Amino acid sequence: MNLEKENLPKHIAIIMDGNRRWAKAKGKPAGFGHKEGAKVLEKIVRYANKIGIEHITVYAFSTENWRRPDKEVKALMRLLRKYLKDCIERTAKNNMRVRVIGEKSRLDDDIRAAIDELEEVSAANTGLNFTIALNYGSRDEMVRAMRHMAQDCKEGAFSVEEITEERFASYLDTKDLPDPDLMIRTSGEQRLSNWLLWQLAYAEFYFTDVLWPDFDKQELIRAVEYYNTRERRFGGRVK
In the predicted model, is pLDDT for residue 11 greater than 80?
Answer: yes
- Per residue in 209-234, pLDDT (tens digit) is 999 999 999 999 999 999 998 876 55
Taking alpha carbons only, the member of 162, 158, 210, 216 closest to residue 187 is 210
Cα separation of the two ends of the chain:
13
Residue 237's pLDDT band, with cuts at 50, 70 and 90, is: very low
Q: What is the pLDDT of residue 92?
A: 84
Residue 7's pLDDT band, with cuts at 50, 70 and 90, is: confident
- Per residue in 38-58, pLDDT (tens digit) is 999 999 999 999 999 999 999
- Per residue in 81-110, pLDDT (tens digit) is 999 988 888 888 889 999 999 999 999 999
Enumerate the active-site residues: 17, 65
Residue 2's pLDDT band, with cuts at 50, 70 and 90, is: low
Residue 239's pLDDT band, with cuts at 50, 70 and 90, is: very low
pTM over 0.75, yes/no: yes
Average pLDDT over all residues of the chain: 93
Q: What is the pLDDT of residue 232?
A: 62
